[in-house]
Structures are given as structure tokens and as C-alpha cells.
Amino acid sequence: MLTEIPAEQYSATVETVAREVLAEVEWYRPPVDALAIAERLGLVVARDSAMDVRARFVRLSAMGKGPMSKGAVGRTGRGTILLADDSRPERRQWAVAHEVSESIAQRVFVRMGVSLVDIPLAGRERVANHLASCLLLPREWLASDGEAVGWDLPELKQKYSTASHELIARRMLEMAPPVIVTLFDQGALQWRRCNVEGNAGGRPPSLTPAETSVWRAAFESGQATAYEESKLPEGISQIRCWPVHEPGWRREILRTEWTEW
């Protein structure tokens, strides 16, 4: 059913629901704290170190018999997010934001006129992921702040501290201007996507020599790098790369802005 809905309508609906939820809980500026949002929505967040997943949404039995599966409990019981232990705060934030989105995803389906029973599990997961991203990085805020700082990733990360560098980079693909975002892990290209005509999953051209040189400089130096403006290839207005390095791991995020495609 989701595949039959125009991409623009689907994205606009998810963005609208996220915006309404933030207004409902009176959250008006970044960073967005998913744990606080859950609390304001009347959900309980409880730690469960024994879980093999980062988080899980359940409803506690009214009879006090503990958590039951979503399918078993239906619409009864207190909404509860069980959260596994994780040393990374961004992972905890994403896990809770995802489960909050699971709990409110019905709002998206109602607006699109789709019955929840017609949506396969993969479709529900897609909506929850997109909604979680929109909650942590609201479109209007990020578009304004991104333009204000020239889409500098470290500056955006400082302001939207509860979102990971990668999540911010992925959200860039849903904003203007036309860009390609490329992520490298341990010296290998992991994914590369563009937002031409609003398609965040579009197929971009192969890495150019200019992009490769900027990425390699960031990889080797551990410093943010940019291609010399006077030497940029035709059709490209900017190439920048930001290292996200930590002991034992190197990740780089490359952003390429195009003036024409």
C-alpha cells in the first residue's frame, strides 16, 4: 500500500506528524531529547540490560504481570519502551525515538487513509525509521540551521547533539540544494546517495578524482578538508569531507554540492 502513495505525499505526511507531535509535547528548539519526548507522551522508559536489541515497545499488563508483546496486548496497558544498555548516547536517543515512532505511527497511516492491517512489518519499520529521523531532526529547523552554517556537519552536530553524524548526513539528502553524500568506514565506501529531484535514494555518479582526493586528505589527516574552489570540476560548487574518528575506527562523511546535474 505504501508503494502506491506518491513519495512527496508520504514524506510530507511523516514530516507533518513529527511536527505536530513536537508541538503537542511543547518542544520548540534543538536538541530534541527522545527520552523526554517519550515521557511527555505518557510513555515509560525502562532499562532492560538483558535485551538483545537496543529497544522494544511494549504495553504493560494492567494486571501487573509484566510486559506483553504488542500483538498480545493490543491497545490496552501502559505504553513502555524497554531500553538496552548502550554506551553511545546517540544510539540510545535513536532507539527511543524509533520506539516512540512505533507508538505513534498509526497517525501517519490514518492521514494517508491506509489501514494498519494492510501494512507489512517492513512497511511499518520504514515509517518508524523515517518518523524517528524527523523527530530528532525536524525539517524546518534543520533546513534553516543548515543554510545558516553552510551545512557544516560539525556545527550541526553541536546543535543537534542527540543525533549522530550519519543521521544528520542522511537528513541532508532530504533538503536543498542538490547534493551527494558519501560515507566511508575504515577506508572503504559504505554508501553514496543523492537527492536529485527530491529522491534521497537516488543513484549518483561514481566518485570523481576531486572527491577522492578530498576524502583521502581527511582520512589521513583526521581534519576537515575541502577542495580548492578555483579548481572545482564543472557543475560542482563545493566538496567537503569531515572525519568522525575515534580510537580503532575511522569514518568520513563527504558532501558534494552540485550546481547542475
| Fold classification of 141-258 (topology level) | Beta-Lactamase (3.30.450)
Return the closest-CA partner of residue 173 out of 183, 184, 188.
183
pLDDT at residue 173 in the model = 95
Task: State the first-to-last Cα distance of the chain, in angstroms, to the nearest integer.
Answer: 32
Domain boundaries, given as residue ranges, for the chain? 2-136, 141-258
Classify domain 2-136 at the CATH class level. Answer: mainly alpha
How many residues make up the chain in this entry?
261
44 contact partners, CB below 8 Å, separation of at least 6: 38, 60, 78, 79, 80, 81
Residuewise pLDDT in 10s, the chain (261 residues) = 666 788 889 999 999 999 999 999 999 999 999 999 999 999 888 776 656 566 666 666 544 445 444 433 344 556 777 777 766 899 989 999 999 999 899 999 999 988 777 777 888 899 999 999 999 999 999 999 999 999 999 999 999 999 999 999 999 999 989 999 999 999 999 999 998 754 455 688 899 999 999 999 999 999 999 999 999 998 899 999 999 999 999 999 999 999 865
pLDDT at residue 146 in the model = 98
